[in-house]
Amino acid sequence: MPKEIDAKLLERTWLHAHEEDTENQRVFRPDTYQLAPSRGRAGYDFQSRGVVVRRMPGPNDRGVFAKGTWTLSSDGRVTIRISGAPEEVFDIEDLDADRLVVKK
């Protein structure tokens, strides 16, 4: 885990690059990154002021979106809260301009 997470680097839309996952890590890339074609990708749009939009593939391959809030703790833990859904927690292991890696 990085010693200090720059929240500004997190503030963008990240798509799950499942083909880069490892046994212990999930990898996300910015929505501007050239990913291989996929039938829908899960992702998160981390916006300023703690707003997040979660995107999931829908039954007809169109995205399904849910809005909520996110917080970043000093130890690199992102907590996502969306009404009606279980809280999600990501422990960030690595973050730079084109790659976000979290523990599985």
* pLDDT digits 0-9 by tens, 50-88: 999 999 988 877 789 999 999 999 899 999 999 999 999
The pLDDT of residue 1 is above 80: no
CA distance 25 to 61: 25
Q: What is the CATH number of domain 7-103?
A: 2.40.128.280
**pLDDT averaged over every residue in the chain:** 93
Question: How confident is the model at residue 38, as a pLDDT?
Answer: 83
Q: Is the pTM of this model over 0.85?
A: yes
Q: Residue 24 is encoded by which pair of tokens?
A: 């212990």
CA distance 94 to 9: 11
Instruction: Report whether pLDDT(40) > 90.
Output: no
User: Distance between CA 5 and CA 49 in Å, rounded?
Assistant: 16
Q: How would residue 100 be classed by pLDDT, with cut points 50, 70 and 90?
A: very high
- DSSP letter assigned to residue 46: E
pLDDT level of residue 3 (50, 70, 90 thresholds): low
Cβ atoms of 40 and 33 within 8 Å: the answer is: no
